Amino acid sequence: MASKELTAAIEAAQAAAVVINAFYRHSPSVRTKPDSSPVTEADERAEEVIRATLQRHFPGYGFYGEETGQHAMGAESIWLVDPIDGTKSFVREQPFFSTQIALLRAGELVLGVSYASVYGELAWAEKGGGAFLNDQPVRVSGVAQLSEAFVSTGNMKSLTHGPLWERFGALVRGVGRIRGYGDFVHYHLLVRGSLDVVIETDINILDIAALTVLVREAGGTFTDLHGAAVGLETTSVLATNGTLHQKILAALRR
């Protein structure tokens, strides 16, 4: 049975979808934030709806939003929210964007909701409760050999500037297939066993917090590219079906 927190997070994501879908393909105005990333009215209004919904149910919780920043970060329980993860896709009228809502409790990610309303996928997970995609339980694959692994990448820009780039190239030559699905798409594919490894850089915790819970509850493993646990300062991702995790890390350390 879903907790009250999960029910509230899904409600908030669905309320945000009403706002987002009204702007999609209607040329929303775009401005550039100080970090050079784009933001639209849809991002801002969707986050307002999410925050209002979550605060109505849990007024004592902290809130860390992509657009409104950090609030009450000393609280034991903190919502982590990206109203439109994939704003660039949203602006270019591609359906590869989603709403990400996670709950951090005492420093641990315990709940995640990933809602890609235009794409038609709603995924959620709670610690100890398994992972679900469109109401169906999902599980990562059992692929154990790199030569059979399907790998997907996200933004890899920062990887090209360091020693990992050459190792990544060697890794790519040894896997079964590589694609770049990006954003929520490859994580949803991972948790339902349709691919086996996700690698990306240049991310922040709001992009991946909910997805971290989904992958773990589907039986996978989620760290950064050095094998460290996910935290507020994480900037890279290695998410796998678990079986392949140490093999990928070893390949990237050679």
Confidence check: pLDDT of 13 > 90: yes
| Mean pLDDT along residues 199-212 | 96
The reply to whether 9 and 120 lie within a common domain is yes
The reply to whether 165 and 98 lie within a common domain is no
Domain span holding position 245: 146-253
The reply to whether 103 and 184 lie within a common domain is no
The reply to whether 24 and 115 lie within a common domain is yes
The reply to whether 161 and 194 lie within a common domain is yes
Residue 181 belongs to domain with CATH number: 3.40.190.80
Question: Is residue 242 in some structural domain?
Answer: yes
Of 129, 154, 171, the one marking the end of a domain is: 129
The band of 77, judged by pLDDT with boundaries at 50, 70 and 90, is very high
Q: What percent of the chain has pLDDT over 70?
A: 100
Strands 197-201 and 150-153: parallel
Confidence check: pLDDT of 36 > 80: no
Query: Tell me, what's the pLDDT at 25?
Result: 87
Query: Tell me, what's the pLDDT at 114?
Result: 98
Residues 6+ apart with CB under 8 A from 101: 9, 12, 13, 50, 54, 79, 80, 81, 112, 113, 115, 210
Question: Is residue 195 in some structural domain?
Answer: yes
Q: Looking at beta carbons, which pairs linking 165-174 to residues 24 or more positions away fall under 8 Å?
A: 167/251, 167/252, 167/253, 167/254, 168/199, 168/252, 170/251, 170/254, 171/146, 171/248, 171/251, 171/252, 174/146, 174/147, 174/251
Structurally, the chain folds into a number of domains equal to 2
Question: Is residue 55 in some structural domain?
Answer: yes
Per-residue pLDDT reduced to its tens digit, 209-251: 999 999 999 999 999 999 999 999 999 999 999 999 999 999 9
Question: Is residue 115 in some structural domain?
Answer: yes
Query: Tell me, what's the pLDDT at 159?
Result: 84
Query: Tell me, what's the pLDDT at 251?
Result: 94
Per-residue pLDDT reduced to its tens digit, 113-165: 999 999 999 999 999 999 999 999 999 999 999 999 999 999 888 888 888 89
Query: Tell me, what's the pLDDT at 40?
Result: 86
Q: What percent of the chain has pLDDT over 90?
A: 83
| Mean pLDDT along residues 57-77 | 95
| Mean pLDDT along residues 166-194 | 95
Q: Phi and psi (nearest 5°) for 42? A: -60, -45
Residue 60 belongs to domain with CATH number: 3.30.540.10
Compute the mean pLDDT over every residue in the chain, rounded to the nearest whole number.
94
Query: Tell me, what's the pLDDT at 21?
Result: 94
Query: Tell me, what's the pLDDT at 134?
Result: 97
Query: Tell me, what's the pLDDT at 35?
Result: 78
Confidence check: pLDDT of 55 > 80: yes
pTM of the model: 0.95
The reply to whether 10 and 120 lie within a common domain is yes
Query: Tell me, what's the pLDDT at 38?
Result: 81
